[in-house]
Amino acid sequence: MQDSTNSVSVAGRLRGLELSHKLYGEAFYTFFLECERLSDKTDVLPVTISERLLSKHPLCDGKSVTVKGQLRSYNKLVDGKVRLYLTVFARDIGDATSSVNEIELKGFVCKPPVFRMTPFGREITDILVAVNRAYNKSDYIPCIVWGRNARFASGFEVGDKVSVFGRVQSRQYEKVLENGEKIIRVAYEVSISRLSKDW
């Protein structure tokens, strides 16, 4: 029994389809999906898709599509350091009929939550949720919680079972390297709108 749920549905405009890698003779491709928010901002989300799905649904740059699947994580070695990367792993794809960006996760808190205040006085809690996958694998999903839910989530403990619902978002931030150089990076996370404990 997996004790988990990982279900995501996102719609947007496709950008930059290219070959990513091959695994057991099957090719996988990546692209970015530009998803409009109600606030007129745009989330740019990475998507991974198998050649089998592409053969059924040919894609081209600029096409509006809906992707259903899972939010998956993997570690990648960059400049001698291991970094966590997220991607929407496509299980199904079709023409976009409406705007959607929804994710539901059931998993386990795997790091102590971090509660903080923004410069504007908003309460935020960062939690890392481990979601089990088949073949003894797990995906580690960074989540961010706001306001009253942030206070609630700040009391979670490592190992707590949690259920969250929200959307996948991209966020740019400035990283200061060891040599003092500043670079812009993109973080991907789940912005939680509803959550509960002990499902």
- Of 23-27, 76-80, 158-162, minimum mean pLDDT range: 76-80
Give the torsion sign (CA, 181, 174, 72, 16). negative
- Would you list the domain boundaries of the chain? 5-99, 104-197
Judged by phi (left if over 0) then psi (alpha if -120 to 50, else beta), residue 62 lies in: left
CA separation for the pair 84, 140 (Å, rounded):
8
Residue 33 and residue 100 in contact, taking contact as beta carbons nearer than 8 Å = no
Q: What is the per-residue pLDDT for 125?
A: 97
pTM of the model: 0.90
Residue 137 and residue 70 in contact, taking contact as beta carbons nearer than 8 Å = no
Question: What's the pLDDT tens digit per position in 5-46?
Answer: 999 999 999 999 999 999 889 999 999 999 998 888 999 999
Residue 13 and residue 23 in contact, taking contact as beta carbons nearer than 8 Å = no
Question: What's the pLDDT tens digit per position in 41-77?
Answer: 999 999 999 999 988 888 888 999 999 999 999 988 7
Q: What is the per-residue pLDDT for 1?
A: 40
CA distances from 17 to 29, 62, 63, 93, 194 (A): 7, 10, 11, 14, 33
The upper half-sphere exposure of residue 42, i.e. CA atoms within 13 Å in the direction of its Cβ, equals 9
| Superfamily (CATH) of domain 5-99 | Nucleic acid-binding proteins (2.40.50.140)
Mean pLDDT of 160-189: 91
pLDDT(174) > 80: yes
pLDDT(199) > 80: no
CATH architecture designation of domain 104-197: Beta Barrel (2.40)
CA separation for the pair 104, 70 (Å, rounded):
9
Residue 132 and residue 2 in contact, taking contact as beta carbons nearer than 8 Å = yes
Q: Do domains 5-99 and 104-197 have the same CATH topology?
A: yes
Higher pLDDT, 70 or 99: 70
